Amino acid sequence: MRILIDCTHTATYPFKNTGIHRVVRQIANELLLTKPLQDFEIVLVKFDGYKLIQVDDLNNKIEKKHNKFSDYTALITRLSTFFKKAKNKISRLIPASFFNRRISKVDKFMKRTFSSNDIYLIADANWDLPGSYYIFLKKLKSYGVSINIICYDLIPIKFPEYCSNEFVKVFKQFYFEYADCFDKVICISEKSAEDYQEILGSYQREDQVVTHFKLGCDYIKMEPLENLDLELIRPEIRKILGYQFILVGGSIVTGKQIGRAHV
């Protein structure tokens, strides 16, 4: 079995370090660590407009030391980001049918033909990719590839007032148009899974599976909660187990689309 982890955004912008970028890197690292223990192959990939490219390094490229050289590096990074975003916006204006012929010839990756033994996991923030991405996913499905996506949340749809208008438009377009591509939607919480089914239920296929996992848990070392010895948990923590909470999250990250969010 082969698992192709789509980390297009993180691979394209390696200097970014938002929550999703950190999760993508951690998921990739965890799966690569389990590789020797399982009978499957893990491959990190990114989509370049009509085909896949293997990704060798997802490490963050932030320059931590401030000096004259880092100033030049930051300037080059900003220019590179500008041109990449401009290219991406232009590519989204090109009719998807323009890529049909090139995508129709894509039938293999790393010299192996796509098959039902492949799992394609969209782990990244791929909401703003060109329309050819949809055609490409449909092509994969024609070979029996299982298309899976990690849904982090639907805040831009549920609470659009906390996001930029452009971001809301792109985000909505992605999920409403691509919903029929996904065989499995893996949400980061039970509540996110409920939101997905409530908002996108009429767009999903009958056989689509919507599930969730606990983001932040170390599954390799984690034991079921019922197996834990409560005596090992600090008394002040034991007192609050079972209570319900309203979590109010905020951000002070410059340029972050979501300024406030009620989860």
Burial of 170 (0-12, 13-18, 19+ CB in 10 A): middle
Q: Tens digit of pLDDT for each residue in 96-144?
A: 666 666 777 778 888 889 999 999 999 998 888 888 899 899 999 999 9
Of 48-62, 64-78, 122-136, 149-163, the least confident: 64-78
If one looks up domain 2-222 in CATH, what number appears? 3.40.50
Q: Where are the beta strands (DSSP E) in 1-132?
A: 2-6, 41-47, 52-54, 108-109, 112-113, 118-122
Give me the residue spans of the domains in the chain. Answer: 2-222
The answer to whether residues 187 and 151 touch, using CB atoms and an 8 Å cutoff, is yes
Mean pLDDT of 179-197: 92
Q: Is the per-residue pLDDT at 221 higher than 50?
A: yes
pTM of the predicted structure, to 2 decimals: 0.73
Altogether, the residues listed in the chain come to a count of 263
Q: What span, in angstroms and rounded, lies between the C-alpha atoms of 51 and 8?
A: 12
- Nearest C-alpha neighbor of 85 from the set 128, 51, 53: 128
Q: What span, in angstroms and rounded, lies between the C-alpha atoms of 77 and 58?
A: 16
Strands 184-187 and 118-122: unpaired
Long-range interactions of 35-40: CB distance < 8 A, separation 24+ = 39/1, 40/1, 40/2, 40/3
pLDDT of residue 80: 65
Strand order in the sheet with 52-54: 52-54, 41-47, 2-6, 118-122, 146-151, 184-187, 209-212
Q: Tens digit of pLDDT for each residue in 227-255?
A: 666 677 778 777 777 777 766 665 544 44
